[in-house]
Structure 1
Amino acid sequence: MDKNRLGSFLFFMEQSLNIKRILFIVLLLCEMAFLVGAYWPGAMSIDSVSQYEQAVTHTYEDWHPPIMAWVWSCFILVYKGPIPMLLFHTFMFFGATALLCLMYSKKNRISWIWLILPLLPFIAGLSGVLWKDIGMAYAFFFAFALFHLGIHIQRQSYYSYLLFFLALCFFLYAFWVRDNAIMASAPIVYYLVTIGFPNWKKIYIFGVSCIILICLFCIGRGINKYMLDAKSECPTMHMKIDEIAATSRIVGKNLFFKESTVHEFPVEELPIVHLDKGWKFYSIVQLTDNLLKENWYSVMRNEPWAYLQAKLRLFNNFSRFPIKTPRCVSYFVMHKNNYGFTFEKGRASDILYSYVNTTKNILPILFLPIFWIPLAGILFLYVLKRNDLLGIEVKMLSSSAVCYYLGYFIVTPTPDYRFIYWIVLATTVATFLLLCDRYSYTSSEFSNI
């Protein structure tokens, strides 16, 4: 092994093992124990149970991208149940937090701020829920921290390449674990290409980024279809139904096809799940996937302005604007299942639940996109003219948050907090990076690239 490389790595480790950093590690371990204990063995909704069933049977569906179920099936070989997935999510989140905390601990006056991250109510509230939304956010975060460390050590060393490879693995997991992760990934890929090829023209960077995103998207679809043999479903079915119902309300007539059992319903009896929480409505529409898609297209063609108004109304509700009560900011539930999994709230669960929901009641805006999206925009504009590494990283995270949010206008889900979890985490990390840069012992933590 190259002595210079080994010496560089050993020096880095020696610098890492000081009293301050050991204290930080101990405190992070205590925080991790608290959050894992609060959510032990892992909270599971009906979606989580469905993915676990796929992991057990190896019969996958694309209603949820099957990559999470496939990873879970690998964990099952070691230990059955929700615990391995809970620990996997915890490892990614606290691994990323620890890396950033230790990297800033020597050169920064407020490196302790990273110790606060896991305990922030808008982060901790869903930290132990086994949803792909949470897994995607943590995988993106861990990939970012690994990449950040790889550049910090030495850009062309063996260890930096190893870290870049690991970062790529977790980035790919995040990219493939949610269908709309491509929206969050677009700015990340763009700025990674910018870092790799700083002298390229922006049009070339944009073109290469688009090619990379298209290739990754196609590879993911190929894995789902040909390797995992995932059964084709219609994951946007309920969103299409909501949009037809919302447009029907605006034009004042029922726009569902006559083949649907709700075709004769009065307009006022067509519930919009986003607004009315009428989940049972989906099961009585009874349109095949093809007919529903055709019905949806016909509404867009025949009532374009009313459809646009309906989309804006649904997106506005998703954004909780004006300020509305945030939904599902914590989730201490184990959905009914055939595996005997149960969830019993303990003392730690009660403390966390009270802490998160009290914060929600006092400052609901902290759980709403109408706070985080403007903040992300402000951060982006603040570093717009900075071309050093920190400026690029802040632009990467803040623009990823905004693009991910805008993607929900295309496919608008119900306004659950979990759907903006990455937005919140990315914006918070970007804010912390700027604060650490502001209170660095040196004039600049990062050199120009």
Structure 2
Amino acid sequence: MSGTVDRWTTALRRGWRTGTLWPWCLGGIAAVCGYAVATVFHPGYLSADSNTQLWQALGDEPVNDWHPPVMALAWRILIGITGDFSSMAAAQAALLWGTLWVLARLTWRKTGSRGLSLAVLAVGFAPHIMNLTGVVWKDVHLAYALLAVFAIALTVRDLPPERVRSRWALLVLGVLLLVYAALVRKNGIPAAIPVFALLVLAAWPVPGRRRWLAATGVFVAVVLAAGAGVSAATAPLTTRVYAVIPVDDLVHVLTPAQVRTAAEQAGASDDLRDRLVATAVDCQKRQIASDAYLQCFPQDGPFDVTYLDRRADVIVRMWTQQMPRHWKGYVEYRGRVFSKLLFQSNQRFWNGTHVNAGARLHPDVRKEPLNDTLRSALQNYVTGFARDLPMLFQGWFWLAVSLVLVLRRRWPGPYSRELRLLGASSLLYVLAYLPTAPESNYRYVYWPALAGTVALTLVATAYAARRRAAADSLAGEPEDRPAVLPGGRAPETAPAGPREGADAVG
């Protein structure tokens, strides 16, 4: 027995010294952290949108496409497997921390530094990231799915050529996550395009035109097929929710009298004309600058999600007739809403009290109240940073970070091209809100915040690894840096292999 223990002890010490155990240690740390975060948010912080989708997921309310049917379907599947609606919030935490573990493991393999790999894991505890980890929102799903695809692309890029099956399995998983991201957020497609390019470049470092066209065609076909499959599985009511955007423009750019005239010219019914005029008057009176349909539009009884579906064509016709004539007012209005999104984002912390869900709060949610002690501790943590470092919660900062990521030609470390594409995804996502932002809300810039934080962390680790390599060349290897990494490789301090030249050219 003592000989067996000695052999195990010797093997563990050798594994720690050579670094073969550290990725598993990182996995254990990520699992503990993810469980802790899921515990804080249990059973999940739900907004009015979340409650609506929970009713749909449980089959207690018809599915509609005002919110993404794919999210209701995914939630329905999780509930069917686990029997508990809280599984969605737990799955979000698991996806984030699993992705961070993959990125931390890659950092360890590239730098051989335990401290730098732990720094990547620490992204999950950043106040502007952790604040929404357990909030069941489509914005959170988009962000975590895109980040997971980014981690998969980096992993595929570093796989040896002989790992063909692993490569294709990861690529299929990445495509599925990317398709989910495109379906879960109606304006997520611009953000998905650069991440799709990441997958293609990970599989083929120098793809030709035919390969690009083939890969794009396959991706579009999978998105269309998945959308059709989700529709077949959920049979969602059509709402044509996109019409809320022209409603916002019409009632804020035109005067009430002009709205009335525009409605008559477009052939709107008397009911729609009067409601639009009343919306313009009410928003002006209450000084509501956006989200007019939900804030000011008169409703007869309970909210009717199908009202716009029956009148969207007329509303769009009003918009196309009037906005070219009032283009200056339109530009000014959209600039006003977009600037507010960038500089005055609200809801930096969602406390999960469900106050705006009212009577629609599902009975299953009432049975599992939130932990007020943990919620208060998390709120103090987040709001304290929001007070002391407000730029972390503001869109302008992450827009600037994405611009820097895109415009700089070369970043240190092995992922220069990947960081630029990550920045491009964030940039396109923010800019897509310029003509469409319904209100000022931090969750609309959650993906740029997450992507920017991960990118800055990877850049910082690359700079630290470069300085460490320079110091090691003079002073020798430090104790916490393994002499040999798993597989018999020396720790990497710079990008290596055939991709280095491609990155440098890119």
Length-normalised TM-score, structure 1: 0.85
In structure 1, give the amino acid aligned to 2:244. H
Given that residues 143 and 450 in structure 2 are in contact (C-alpha distance below 8 angstroms), is that contact kept between their aligned partners in structure 1? yes
State the partner residue of 1:131. 137
**1:273 to 1:184, Cα distance in 2 relative to 1, 3 A:** farther
Which of 5, 22, 43 in structure 2 is aligned with 1:41?
Answer: 43
Given that residues 251 and 276 in structure 2 are in contact (C-alpha distance below 8 angstroms), is that contact kept between their aligned partners in structure 1? no
Which of 158, 178, 191 in structure 1 is aligned with 2:185?
Answer: 178
1:338 and 2:347 correspond: no
Percentage of identical aligned residues = 20
Quote the Cα distance in structure 1 between the aligned partners of 2:461 and 2:169.
26
Secondary structure of 1:341 counterpart: helix
**1:243 to 1:434, Cα distance in 2 relative to 1, 3 A:** same
Quote the Cα distance in structure 2 between the aligned partners of 1:429 and 1:176.
24
Offset at residue 46 of structure 1 (A): 1.4
Offset at residue 269 of structure 1 (A): 3.9
1:327 and 2:347 correspond: yes
Given that residues 190 and 209 in structure 1 are in contact (C-alpha distance below 8 angstroms), is that contact kept between their aligned partners in structure 2? no
Given that residues 126 and 329 in structure 1 are in contact (C-alpha distance below 8 angstroms), is that contact kept between their aligned partners in structure 2? yes
State the partner residue of 2:196. 189
1:94 and 2:144 correspond: no
State the partner residue of 1:366. 392
Quote the Cα distance in structure 2 between the aligned partners of 1:50 and 1:20.
43
State the partner residue of 1:299. 322
Secondary structure of 1:257 counterpart: helix
**1:279 to 1:177, Cα distance in 2 relative to 1, 3 A:** closer
Given that residues 241 and 282 in structure 1 are in contact (C-alpha distance below 8 angstroms), is that contact kept between their aligned partners in structure 2? no
Quote the Cα distance in structure 2 between the aligned partners of 1:310 and 1:220.
36
Quote the Cα distance in structure 1 between the aligned partners of 2:365 and 2:414.
46
Given that residues 194 and 200 in structure 1 are in contact (C-alpha distance below 8 angstroms), is that contact kept between their aligned partners in structure 2? yes
Quote the Cα distance in structure 2 between the aligned partners of 1:27 and 1:124.
16
State the partner residue of 1:309. 332
Quote the Cα distance in structure 1 between the aligned partners of 2:214 and 2:410.
23
Give the structure with higher Rg (CA): 2
Deviations along 1:263-294, one digit per CA (max 9) or x if unpaired, are: 55596643475558884413449773333222
Offset at residue 74 of structure 1 (A): 1.1
Which moves more between the two structures, 350-359 or 215-224?
215-224
Secondary structure of 2:241 counterpart: coil
**1:199 to 1:48, Cα distance in 2 relative to 1, 3 A:** same
**1:392 to 1:44, Cα distance in 2 relative to 1, 3 A:** same
State the partner residue of 1:282. 297
Offset at residue 310 of structure 1 (A): 1.9
1:261 and 2:274 correspond: yes
Given that residues 47 and 352 in structure 2 are in contact (C-alpha distance below 8 angstroms), is that contact kept between their aligned partners in structure 1? no
Matches within 5 A, 1:2-401: 18=20, 20-57=22-59, 59-106=62-109, 107-109=111-113, 110-157=116-163, 158-200=165-207, 211=217, 214-248=220-254, 253-254=258-259, 257=263, 259=270, 260-262=273-275, 264-265=277-278, 269-271=282-284, 273-275=288-290, 279-284=294-299, 288-320=311-343, 324=344, 326-334=346-354, 335-336=357-358, 337-342=361-366, 343-382=369-408, 384-385=409-410, 390-401=415-426
Given that residues 63 and 69 in structure 2 are in contact (C-alpha distance below 8 angstroms), is that contact kept between their aligned partners in structure 1? yes
**1:165 to 1:209, Cα distance in 2 relative to 1, 3 A:** closer
In structure 1, give the amino acid aligned to 2:83. K
Given that residues 422 and 451 in structure 2 are in contact (C-alpha distance below 8 angstroms), is that contact kept between their aligned partners in structure 1? yes
In structure 2, give the amino acid aligned to 1:330. W
**1:119 to 1:208, Cα distance in 2 relative to 1, 3 A:** same
Offset at residue 437 of structure 1 (A): 2.3
Quote the Cα distance in structure 2 between the aligned partners of 1:257 and 1:164.
50
Deviations along 1:16-52, one digit per CA (max 9) or x if unpaired, are: 9745445434433332233212211001111112112
In structure 2, give the amino acid aligned to 1:65. P
In structure 2, give the amino acid aligned to 1:340. D
Quote the Cα distance in structure 1 between the aligned partners of 2:140 and 2:419.
21
Given that residues 119 and 457 in structure 2 are in contact (C-alpha distance below 8 angstroms), is that contact kept between their aligned partners in structure 1? yes
In structure 2, give the amino acid aligned to 1:82. F
Quote the Cα distance in structure 2 between the aligned partners of 1:427 and 1:266.
38
Given that residues 157 and 203 in structure 2 are in contact (C-alpha distance below 8 angstroms), is that contact kept between their aligned partners in structure 1? no
Quote the Cα distance in structure 2 between the aligned partners of 1:340 and 1:200.
50
In structure 2, give the amino acid aligned to 1:232. T
Given that residues 179 and 223 in structure 2 are in contact (C-alpha distance below 8 angstroms), is that contact kept between their aligned partners in structure 1? no
**1:205 to 1:394, Cα distance in 2 relative to 1, 3 A:** farther
In structure 1, give the amino acid aligned to 2:283. L
Offset at residue 142 of structure 1 (A): 1.6
Deviations along 1:106-135, one digit per CA (max 9) or x if unpaired, are: 534322211311110100001100111101
In structure 2, give the amino acid aligned to 1:410. P
Offset at residue 212 of structure 1 (A): 5.7
Given that residues 342 and 395 in structure 2 are in contact (C-alpha distance below 8 angstroms), is that contact kept between their aligned partners in structure 1? yes
In structure 2, give the amino acid aligned to 1:282. F
Given that residues 39 and 128 in structure 1 are in contact (C-alpha distance below 8 angstroms), is that contact kept between their aligned partners in structure 2? yes
Which moves more between the two structures, 121-130 or 23-32?
23-32
Secondary structure of 1:282 counterpart: coil
**1:265 to 1:277, Cα distance in 2 relative to 1, 3 A:** closer
Could you say what the CA RMSD is over the residues aligned between the two structures, in angstroms?
3.1
Offset at residue 423 of structure 1 (A): 0.8
